[in-house]
Chain A
Amino acid sequence: MSFLNSYIYYIGAFGLILIGLYIILVKHNLIKVIIGLGVLDTGVNLFLISVGYVNKGTAPIFSKPGIGSEHMVDAVPQALVLTAIVIGVAVLALALSLAIRLYQHYGTLNLRKVREQRW
């Protein structure tokens, strides 16, 4: 039980990453592949945040003068994830726009039927 308590965030984060990878590898529909990319992105962000967590942690903000710094979580992963979320949104939008163009060009979103995309 203590194992689960201490590793549940890592398990959840890498569960999301593996699910996203599986979707990207197996699905034929381009929209589903992009959804898999989003799930993978979320998993990586969750993993970075959970690496920086400290037990009984508080946000690293000295909002009142008396707050001590003993239980503050690591600020560096939070700073990385903060920008990664916004960039993730922009990259997903770019991928969706490419999917729109692909559909207009080939008339299908199925990657099996797009000749250059088959593997």
Chain B
Amino acid sequence: MRRAVAILLLIIVALGISISLEKIPFGTLKTKVGKYYINEGREETGAVNIVTAVVVNYRGFDTLGEVTVLFIAAIGLGAVLRAGVGEGTKKTESASLVLYTGCRLLFPLILVFGTYIFIHGHLTPGGGFQGGAIIASGFLLIYLGCRERRISRTASNLAESLGGMVFVLIGLLGLVFGSYFLLNFLPKGTANTLFSAGIIPIIYVAIGFKVGSELASIIDNLIEESQ
């Protein structure tokens, strides 16, 4: 009965979708705003990566909201998992020497790679979100390989709050120096160099720290729960 209702619902949804999708052609540039960003974004923001220009500059306020959603999800996970249950005292078996050494060798390299990804966010594919995810994957490796090692919770909280505060402060500085929140008030520099595009690299580094420490704390909470 339940299955039949579900299939009926899916058929109705699929019909509605296919009728509305008929009008949307595949493979053409559909929006004027997309065309505008591609044609003018390089001159207006100084970033050669147009996706970064959209995320940090044109829709910077939107990104602040999305970072907040991520923050709330991480906080909620910590609150749900921390509440109530006492300390687990299960002993975990330590990893073999090869695994332990390999993880410790790879960890700094992964951190350097993630940092490279979010520092060069305005020049190459990548940025704060991707670099933060890579850094969190490094912490995951450490947690899986060398189980007795833990990141310091204070350092993670510090990096997270610092990242969020730098983002908001730079936005407010835009109000001080000009007319609106998240105004790109720094000089744009020459395109295709590391120190270009004004506030975009600074904000992306802040986002990288914030996302990396939030995802690492999510991993930390989940792994602590499983032990």
Min CB distance, A16 to chain B, in Å? 12
Which of A89, A90, A98, A100 has the largest count of B CB atoms less than 10 A from its CB? Answer: A90
Flag B200-211 by CB within 8 Å of A: 1 or 0 each.
000000000001
Interface residues of B in 47-94 (CB under 8 A from A): 48-51, 53-55, 59, 63, 66, 69-70, 73-74, 76-77, 80-81, 85
* Count of chain A residues near B, Cβ 8 A: 47
Q: How far, in whole Å, are A76 and B62 apart by their CA atoms in the complex? A: 12
> Quick check: B81 and A97 within 8 Å, CB to CB?
yes
Q: How far, in whole Å, are A76 and B6 apart by their CA atoms in the complex? A: 34
Residue of B nearest to A62 (CB): B48
> Quick check: B26 and A9 within 8 Å, CB to CB?
yes
Interface residues of A in 57-89 (CB under 8 A from B): 57, 59-63, 65, 69, 72-76, 78-79, 82-83, 85-87, 89
> Quick check: B38 and A60 within 8 Å, CB to CB?
yes
A114 within 8 A of B: no
Chain B hits for A107, CB < 8 A: none
> Quick check: A59 and B125 within 8 Å, CB to CB?
yes
Q: How far, in whole Å, are A79 and B128 apart by their CA atoms in the complex? A: 12
Q: 20 A-B residue contacts at CB 8 Å?
A: A6-B27, A7-B21, A7-B26, A18-B10, A25-B2, A25-B10, A51-B30, A57-B27, A60-B37, A60-B38, A60-B49, A82-B130, A85-B129, A86-B70, A86-B129, A86-B132, A86-B215, A89-B215, A90-B77, A93-B222
Other A-B contacts than A62-B49, A93-B218, A97-B76, 12 sampled, CB-CB below 8 A, are A14-B14, A18-B14, A25-B6, A51-B24, A53-B26, A59-B125, A63-B48, A75-B50, A76-B54, A79-B54, A83-B129, A100-B81
Q: Across the A-B interface, give the 3 residue pairs with the lowest CB-CB distance, nearest first.
A: A74-B34, A90-B73, A60-B50
